A and B are shown apart, each in its own frame.
Chain A
Amino acid sequence: MFENLLNISDAAKLLGVSPSTLRRMEKTGNIEEYGLKVIYTPGGQRRYILDEVQQLFSNQGFSGQIGFGTKPALLIRDFTIAFTEPHSQLAIKMNHQITATQQLIEQALNDKIPIIFSKTIYETKNKVSRLWCEKFPSLQILDRESTWVNIHPDLSDYPYDLINATVYISSLYDDQVDDFLKDRQIDTLILAGTTTSGSIRATAVDALQRGYRVIIPKEAVGDRNQTLQNSTLVDLNARYADVMNLDKVLKGMKP
């Protein structure tokens, strides 16, 4: 994993930018938008993963930015007790994702942007639910009636336009969500929630396929570790979604 690393001047040379540009992009949090991963040596030197730099350098056909349309909706996935309580088998460590999501919700309420809360449930009667559960049985705790599927307390008091329980990986597989978006002529989906490599990724792929613009504020999505989070955001930004800073998304939501 730690082979093929470039120092800042070599990485900058390959990309045709200056080292100070790379440092600035890191500071402003824009570096993932360029498909780059930065790691630090024990001595505090920046190193860039060659693989990603090469991919960016040799394949210009990736990572275009699509941007906001005219009618956005905010979709929050799985910030439920099961995914946030530390003693749950499904729990992931949330640092500031909940706070970032609150900011998105406040902005959405302010600008009359519809908000959907989508949560994974397990249903014995459903074939897909049973099959998925064969792969990871921890899903079984997500019974529709159980407290595990309640919304995280910091997010539970907001007036959601739709709360949808789904057995699917992508939030858009459910007709209720699909109809909701079509009825309101939504053209842009802002995704928050967890996990980045799981339902967020699957929903982003699906949304792009269905013709929606997909915006992912990176502070508002979370995963089981930072490597997974970063590599998923690189893939998503290269192929399916615009991955942005929270600030940029909040600005973009304003009419």
Chain B
Amino acid sequence: MVHQQGDEDFYKERGFGKILGFGKKPGLIVVDMIEGFTDPSMPMGSDLTPQINKVNALLEIIRNKDLPVFFTTISYDDDTFADSGLWYQKMEGLKTLKAGTSAVNVDPRLDFRYGDGLIVKKYASAFFGTDLIARLNAQNVDTVIIVGCTTCGCVRATAVDALQYGYRPIVVEDAVGDRSLASHEQSLIDMRQKYADVLTTEKIITTVSAKYPKGSFTA
């Protein structure tokens, strides 16, 4: 990791990687923790058990503070995958994400409850072609805590878009995962320097506990 430390110093010298911080109201976005990605036997899957445990710990504190939770899934219902545009030509593995199959279901180990938002998306960003913005705005969310998979794919695309739509993105480093460790680490560095705050689950829990008093967000 000598090399990466060097990169971080370079960025620091040039004034990158400042802290955006938490805003007035955070929401949690659980990106694509669906069986197609969390079941290692699936073509695009890998073992994300540690991340799932972290997400459950985050869900507990978020629910305790009455803050909103959104899950996302990728699901294609067109038999020819026309609803994936050109993407399936690039990533043939997307053909495993067929609507109605268990691959598109949120991993049952997660505490996914009735009333949580479920955003069905077709592409990488949770913002693209979905009603996520309307849902965030309706609940006055200005900060999005992002967890899930994959770090260099949909998590990263969602974090970059969150910033472009004016939300403060916070990516939880031990609650996001990728098949490729190299891509995972590089994406965390990129996001930390240029687009998002990158924090641990522990740090999120401490901050959310202290900063947002219980009951302050109940209608």
A residues at B contact (CB < 8 Å): 1, 49, 51-52, 55, 59-64, 66, 89-90, 127-128, 131-132, 134-138, 168-170, 173, 197-198, 202, 205-206, 208-209, 211-213, 224-225, 227-228, 231-232, 234-235, 238-241
Contacts and interface: CB of A to CB of B under 8 A. Distances in A.
Interface residues of B, number: 51
Contact of A169 (B2, B14, B195): B195
Contacts of B163: 128, 131-132, 135, 169
Interface of B: 1-4, 7, 10, 14-18, 20, 43-44, 85-87, 89-96, 123-125, 128-129, 152-153, 157, 160, 163-166, 168, 179-183, 186-187, 190, 193-196
Contact of A208 (B10, B86, B93): B86
B18 A49 contact: no
A224 B20 contact: no
A239 B16 contact: no
Contacts of A131: 20, 163, 166, 168
21 contacts: A49-B182, A55-B179, A55-B180, A59-B93, A61-B91, A63-B90, A64-B91, A90-B14, A131-B163, A135-B163, A136-B17, A136-B194, A170-B160, A205-B124, A205-B125, A209-B87, A209-B124, A224-B10, A225-B10, A227-B3, A234-B183
A225 B85 contact: no
Given A135-B18, A202-B160, A61 B89 contact: no
Majority SS of interface residues in chain A? Answer: helix
Contact of B18 (A51, A137, A212): A137
A211 B92 CA distance: 16
Contacts of B128: 206, 209
Nearest to B92: A61
A138 B15 CA distance: 6
A198 B164 contact: no
B93 A62 contact: yes
A51 B181 contact: yes
A185 B143 CA distance: 37
Nearest to B40: A58
Q: Closest 7 A-B residue pairs measured CB to CB? A: A61-B93, A209-B123, A136-B16, A61-B92, A138-B15, A209-B128, A66-B89
Contacts of B183: 231, 234-235
Contacts of A52: 180, 182
Given A51-B181, A128-B165, A131-B20, 11 more contacts: A131-B166, A134-B18, A135-B163, A197-B186, A208-B86, A209-B125, A211-B86, A224-B7, A225-B7, A238-B91, A239-B91
Contacts of B85: 208-209, 211
A89 B125 CA distance: 30
Contact of B166 (A1, A127, A234): A127
Contacts of B20: 131, 134-135
Nearest to A138: B15
A132 B166 CA distance: 9
Given A49-B182, A51-B181, A51-B182, A64 B190 contact: no
A207 to B, nearest CB: 10
A61 B44 contact: yes
Given A127-B166, A135-B195, A224-B10, A61 B94 contact: yes
A209 B182 CA distance: 24
Contacts of A228: 7, 186, 190
B193 A205 contact: no
B132 to A, nearest CB: 14
A166 to B, nearest CB: 10
